[in-house]
A = this chain, B = another copy of it.
Amino acid sequence: MTSKNNDAPWIRVLPLGGLGEIGKNMMVLETVDDIVVIDAGVLFPEWNMPGIDVVIPDMDYLEENADRVRALLITHGHEDHIGAVPHFLKRVNVPVYAPAMAEALLHEKLRQARMRDEAELKVIHPGEQHEIGELEVEWFAVCHSVPDSTGIAITTPAGVVIHTGDFKLDNAPVIGPPSDLGVLADICQDGALLLMADSTYAEEEGYSPSDREVVENLPDLIGAAENRVIVSSFASQIARIQIVADACIKHGRKLCVLGRSMINNTKIGRDLGHLDIPGDLIISAGEANSLPGDKVLILTTGSQGEPQSGLVRMSRNDHRDIKIQDDDTIIMSASTIPGNEVPVNDSINELVRLGARVITNHERRTHVPGHARKEELRMLLNATRPKYFVPVHGEYRMLKSHADLAVTTGVAPENAFILTDGDILELDRNSAEVVDRIEAGHIFVHGLGMWDESGNVVIERRSLQHNGVVTVAFSRDTVDGSLVGRPKIVSAGFVHVEDSDGLLRETEDALTPVLDQHLKKPIEWGDLEDVVRTTVGSFLGRRTKRRPLIITSAIDV
């Protein structure tokens, strides 16, 4: 530890695992004796990480300091905040404190990972105070796009630290209370030491729209439809389920909920009392198919063009239960997450081709985002009056915009820190600085495999996807190492089958004398691979202007 040399009690914060969105998935807060971790989420892979399921933070630092880690504190139930909890608990098994909806989702997630018994899950409620080590932790209610979202206020020896989680101010949320600025102002009556706040919409002027706009628009659209209505939304958007159910009652439609996550979340929402839906409103897909179109509403996933989702299966005409019909009205009750534009657009085209009318958020407001804009962020800054400010949960441009905003509300420019994952910011009542930086990498998860970034897997895949692969195999004599027979060259994803045969035989012809020559004397495997790669690579490069990945194998016979 390279702590600053003074006597005031200090704390440190350390963001981990954000893939460019800093402090999004995990935030470490530590004192001399205690560490708590806020959230343990997954990231979804970016376009240049082909074939990766999810990305999780590298947690080596936590394992190394496991004796001081006291708890995992969850703000809300979205995957980018709870998705890595099973991985976290395998590394550091400490109690997990979570608000009700997040706890219910975690319960299911840990059950699927066969870890339910060993995990200690604790449900928290806003307003309760929990002593964790020398920290006093209080969750406060915030509005966001999943029920029971919270921010966290932590009273430390150095002062009060606020982490907002994901939030917006909505004066009339459909489920739960408005964000509780009052209790925050109360907790921060002497000003917060540190505020860490959601930056996702920090570039946007004004206030975010209220869910009430959706409450007004969705039922109108549903009422105007003449045949079936299919609504696509995020499964965690419980409030949207309520709005849709209410509209069904109003317009005499039955509600058919499709898809495992949508069904599961509807159940959790009802169990927790967030959803008020009469049991006889809900029908099965079979019943939906037997009713007239204007008596049916189908709620499903697929707003992001996910290949296995309900709506996308319908667009490909291969959904088990539901076939798109002429004049079906499809309402995309979501906005498109950046990066998903092309698959979303493809699925809309196919749905229109099948005869449906598709209404998106662009045409009519069918969705509002769950993140605060500039004026809401100013209100938060005014309510908490932090000495230090760390924008979290956003790309660099958003963090920068948020930091600039904080300065306009009175934070000293030198006290607003845009951190990078792995930066250890140490602060006390008098000063703050980045005192250290650890390797804060990412772990790529695919199937049962996990690798850190030092592995070649992702790099090789990028090369494979752009240029294909050429494999070179040859046999050599076990005794003297000399070439036996001819080398054999095969390719995939490189050239058209019809064109390739002659080209690859010519490449074998070119390689044979070179190999023969090099195998006459002892040679290291790495050097031999280089010879093959250079010979084959430049021969094919001249002929095709492309550079496939080249794999060499030798068989000793």
Interface residues of chain A, those whose CB is within 8 Å of chain B, are: 20, 46-47, 50-51, 203, 338-339, 341-343, 345-346, 348-350, 352-353, 358, 363, 395-397, 400, 446-449, 451, 455-458, 460-469, 471, 473-475, 478, 484-490, 492-499, 543-546, 549, 551-557
Contacts and interface: CB of A to CB of B under 8 A. Distances in A.
A147 B464 CA distance: 40
A463 to B, nearest CB: 8
A468 B473 contact: no
A346 B474 CA distance: 44
Given A474-B555, A557-B475, A464 B447 contact: no
Contacts of A339: 341-342
Which 10 residue pairs are nearest across A and B when measured between Cβ atoms? A465-B465, A473-B473, A447-B545, A51-B466, A460-B493, A50-B465, A464-B464, A461-B493, A451-B496, A485-B557
B464 A544 contact: no
A494 B457 contact: yes
B475 A51 contact: no
B493 A464 contact: yes
Contacts of A496: 449, 451, 455-457
B446 A546 contact: yes
A468 B475 contact: no
Nearest to A52: B466
A47 B342 contact: yes
Given A397-B352, A490-B553, A471 B473 contact: yes
A473 B471 CA distance: 9
B554 A557 contact: no
Contacts of A495: 449, 457
Contacts of A468: 51, 457, 460-461, 464
Given A50-B465, A338-B345, A546-B446, A484 B557 contact: yes
B488 A554 contact: yes
A349 B396 contact: yes
A272 to B, nearest CB: 33
Nearest to A545: B447
Contacts of A498: 455
B457 A493 contact: yes
A469 B487 CA distance: 20
A473 B455 CA distance: 24
9 contacts: A349-B396, A352-B396, A352-B397, A448-B544, A449-B499, A449-B546, A469-B471, A471-B553, A490-B551
Given A449-B499, A465-B464, A473-B473, A555 B397 contact: no
Nearest to A549: B492
A349 B475 contact: no
A471 to B, nearest CB: 4
B20 A473 contact: no
A498 B450 CA distance: 11
B465 A488 contact: no
A363 B205 CA distance: 9
Contacts of A448: 543-546
A551 B465 contact: no
A366 to B, nearest CB: 15
A451 B499 CA distance: 9
Given A449-B496, A464-B461, A493-B464, A395 B349 contact: yes
A553 B473 CA distance: 7
A499 B449 CA distance: 9
A395 B346 CA distance: 9
Nearest to A471: B471
A33 B412 CA distance: 79
Contacts of A545: 447-448
A457 B346 CA distance: 22
A492 B485 CA distance: 25
Contacts of A400: 352
Contacts of A473: 471, 473, 488, 553, 555
A485 B556 contact: yes
Contact of A345 (B352, B395, B462, B557): B395
Contacts of A469: 464, 469, 471, 492, 551
A443 B64 CA distance: 55
Contacts of A458: 493
Nearest to A554: B488
A543 B447 CA distance: 10
Given A341-B338, A352-B400, A457-B496, A475 B555 contact: yes
Contacts of A342: 46-47, 338-339
A272 B524 CA distance: 62
A289 to B, nearest CB: 26
- A343, A346, A449, A490 — most chain B CB neighbours (10 Å): A449
A526 to B, nearest CB: 13
A483 to B, nearest CB: 10
